[in-house]
Amino acid sequence: MSVQGFNPRTGQAFGAATASTTAAEVDAICARAQQAFAAWSGTSRDARAAALEKVADAIDAHAGELAAVADGETALGLPRLNGEIKRTSNQLRLFATVLREGSYVEATLDSADAGIVPPRPELRRMLQPLGPVAVFSASNFPFAFSVAGGDTASALAAGCPVVVKAHSAQPATSHATAQVVARALAEAGAPAGTFDIVYGTAAGSQLVRHPAIKAAGFTGSTTGGRTLFDLAQGRPDPIPFYGELGSINPGVILPGAVAERGAELAQGYAQSLTLGVGQFCTNPGLTFVPTPFVGQLAEAVGRTAGGAMLTARIRDAYTAGTQALAAHARLDAVGNASEDAYGVQPQLFTVDLATFAGDVQKYTEECFGPAGLIVTYEDVDALFALLGHLPGSLTASVQAAASDADNAAKAAAIFRHIAGRVIYNQWPTGVAVAWGMQHGGPWPATTNALHTSVGATSIRRWLAPVTFQGWPDAMLPQELQDANPMKIPRRRDGVLGLG
């Protein structure tokens, strides 16, 4: 068995086929990761930070060749890919900063107190790495959510060895990136087994079931993610599975905003809908607008261009999804055609609020790609009565003017319970890599709404708490010793500081 990439522009095979990883090879790779865990997790935070920076530098140094390979397998274009590579190296550097700052370990010290009920012994708590982590690459971000992406960067930062399952549509890109990462880690002194990669669907299933693997991260379809989630939970020892799945990213455009800047909103919506041929997890798939605004939106989408989707399977799913929408909604606009082998056209569909409310589940099925569903409303109160029934999403957006302030606040109060990121007067596409980013949400957006897959706090997924009770100071981890030799933020007797 082998894995073969294809050029979405031509439909022809790209590069040589890559052999699928055998069961014996997966077992050996996981065993090496398990052996590496003690050494890698015991490496100082400064040393791990330096290793991540070395990987970032290596990725930047090989950006040209990596982008060229990825363009052949994704048709995303060199400008987009070069930007994504820089985002990827910057993610690694962010986690180097997280390591050196140190608050991520949540060091907490409680002094002994025999005078309270019940008496309190001396307690010192911190987070520690779980063990080897499986990372499943995404197709729509061949670098930032793939071999060297945020899951890998955050897990390595946490002290967890990583085994990546390459996306089957991008074996050449995955192989080239993995070589860069592995070589840089070795040069930085990381123990053998700290990072590796496997190929093929069977290898991925075996990986998430392997007893050496203690957690898994996934970005992809709801179907694929649910299958792996069930495998992770069905193990004799269930493990955390952090899956980023489907998202419709609802948005509300309020009347005052339309009156003030309708043309700007229509153009911004069309650009967001079709960015990257709509292959963003934050694509604005569902938008509620005042009825008169549909015409402007349709004109803007009608001026957009189609393009190649990542794979034939994704193209076919998009075609099926738009056909399903056409059976239940009015087709108001079609963008320009694409001559690429996996090419599709942007499409805009419309239903009224009452029709949508009659079957919310049907109308909120994700159609991955440049297709948007517009729901028209006449009464804002009727709209608000419906919003709370929407499924979980990664984002929810509100476009408003000053005259819409009260209604914008009402929308935000609803959206904050169904989305991980609530956006005001901006479009949802684009996810900043930052300390304050939340890229997650209730099911079906993710399998665990408590965490994020982007930003500094994504490291929390690969850590578990441990409390040391009554131990001599010299025998404690440095993060918990009285003198705070690492000078990290800690909470001592309930007070947060550097004590």
Cis peptide before 444 (omega within 30 of 0): yes
Nearest to 396 by CA among 380, 416, 379: 416
* Cβ contact 283:272 at 8 Å: yes
**Which pLDDT score, from 0 to 100, does residue 499 have?**
86
| Whole-prediction pTM | 0.96
- Give the amino acid at 246: G
d(C-alpha 405, C-alpha 57), whole Å: 46
d(C-alpha 279, C-alpha 247), whole Å: 12
Pull the structure tokens for residue 442.
């209730």
What residue segments make up the domains of the chain, in order of their start? Answer: 2-245+449-463, 250-424
DSSP, collapsed to helix, strand or coil, labels residue 169 as coil
Pull the structure tokens for residue 84.
């994504």
Q: Tens place of pLDDT for every residue, the chain, 499 residues?
A: 899 999 999 999 999 999 999 999 999 999 999 999 999 999 999 999 999 999 999 999 999 999 999 999 999 999 999 999 999 999 999 999 999 999 999 999 999 999 999 999 999 999 999 999 999 999 999 999 999 999 999 999 999 999 999 999 999 999 999 999 999 999 999 999 999 999 999 999 999 999 999 999 999 999 999 999 999 999 999 999 999 998 999 999 999 999 999 999 999 999 999 999 999 999 999 999 999 999 999 999 999 999 999 999 999 999 999 999 999 999 999 999 999 999 999 999 999 999 999 999 999 999 999 999 999 999 999 999 999 999 999 999 999 999 999 999 999 999 999 999 999 999 999 899 999 999 999 999 999 999 999 999 999 999 999 999 999 999 999 999 999 999 999 999 999 999 8
* Cβ contact 289:383 at 8 Å: no
Q: How many CB atoms lie within 10 A of CB 291?
A: 13
Which residues are the active-site residues?
244, 281
The predicted-structure confidence for 158-182, as pLDDT tens digits, reads as follows: 999 999 999 999 999 999 999 999 9
Host H or E run for residue 271? helix 255-274
* Cβ contact 374:349 at 8 Å: yes
Class of residue 237 by CB neighbours under 10 A (exposed 0-12, middle 13-18, buried 19+): exposed
d(C-alpha 8, C-alpha 315), whole Å: 10
Contacts of 236 (CB under 8 A, 6+ apart): none
Cis peptide before 118 (omega within 30 of 0): yes
2-245+449-463 CATH pick, 3.40.605.10, 3.40.50.620, 3.40.50.300, 3.10.580.10 = 3.40.605.10
Pull the structure tokens for residue 450.
């408590």
- Give the amino acid at 157: A
What is the distance between the terminal CA atoms of the chain, rounded to a whole angstrom?
57
Q: Answer whether CATH 3.40.50.720 is correct for domain 250-424.
A: no
